[in-house]
Structure 1
Amino acid sequence: MTKSPIDPGGNLHEPLNDVMARISSELVDVAELIERLEPLLSNGRSTEFLASPDHMRVMQGIDLAVQKARGLAGFIDGIGERLDSDHLIDITTALNLITLEDMKRRLKASIHAAPSAEIYQKASGDLEFF
């Protein structure tokens, strides 16, 4: 961390608490995407399927993943809220590790994009190959 908004190499720095808020928002988005799987797995297909121990483990795993993502989001928010806005960080290298372009855009400070869960809900029926 540094107190200078621009280092000698020309890299921009931004408040760490802002970065952490964006990460938290991404985790909430992940939780929402995972939650949308639950109805697909419990749509009343058959009583055998619903009574299956394997199916119940999958459902419990989905629920646990959602709780963990939301818990981590809250934890990161809690830490970020207590950071001084003078704590600056350059996230360029970290952003280069992210392969999902929409997530990378949302994590950049100057970009305000809709969360993935919202985009995919509106694009129902569309198909994107990757």
Structure 2
Amino acid sequence: MSNSPNDPGGNPNEPLNDVLERISGELVDVAELIERLEPLLSNDRSTEFLASPDHMRIMQGIDLAVQKARGLATFIEGIGDRLDADQLVDISTALNLITLEDMKRRLRAPIHEAPSADIYQKASGDLDFF
């Protein structure tokens, strides 16, 4: 019987450190997506925006969100690095709570694909309705 989490007849358990590594990667991806908002908010009007306290609070909030996402990613990765590979977890129920299919797919199994931030950057001009 297979131990693959993608095999419905197999054991759904997988190493917790692998799961935490994938979660960490998703948080880094979130940070990169947020960082890409900053240039849009200052686009050729930086002097005007710098004079606006409201705009500065928004920019500081974006920066804080990026720092928090990266900090959480590092924290989770650090925990995962210290776990034994034989510590297993079944993430099936938790995955059912996620509505974004591409994120669910990346969290489900260790696949090697470009992060969302890279995919959306290259898909400029494309539009997905959700």
TM-score by length of 2: 0.88
Q: Percent identity?
A: 83
Aligned to 2:40: 40
What is the identity, as a one-letter code, of the residue corresponding to 2:24?
A: S
Count how many residue pairs are aligned between Structure 1 and Structure 2. 124
Instruction: After TM superposition, give the deviation of residue 127 of structure 1 in Å.
Output: 1.1
Task: Using structure 1 for the length normalisation, give the TM-score.
Answer: 0.88
Q: Distance in 2 between matches of 1:94 and 1:16?
A: 13
Question: How far apart are residue 128 of structure 1 and its match?
Answer: 1.1
Deviation at 1:10, TM superposition (A): 5.7
Structure 1 vs Structure 2 CA RMSD: 1.8
- Cα distance, 1:24 vs. partner? 0.1
Segment of structure 1 superposing worse, 27-36 or 41-50:
41-50
Q: Distance in 1 between matches of 2:11 and 2:85?
A: 18
Report if aligned partners of 1:105, 1:113 keep a CA contact under 8 Å in 2.
Answer: no
2:94 is paired with a residue of what secondary structure?
helix
Cα deviation code 1:50-72 (max 9, x no counterpart): 31000000000000000000000
**In 1, Cα distance between the equivalents of 2:56 and 2:28?**
24
Corresponding letter in the other structure for 1:20: L
- Give the equivalent residue in structure 1 for 2:88: 88
What residue number does 2:68 align with?
68
Match in the other structure for 1:127:
127
The superposition leaves residues 73-109 of structure 1 with CA deviations (integer Å, 9 ceiling, x where unpaired) of: 0000000000000000000000000000000000012
- Return 5+ residue gaps in structure 2 as ranges: none
Question: Are the counterparts in 2 of residues 44 and 50 from structure 1 also a CA contact under 8 Å?
Answer: no
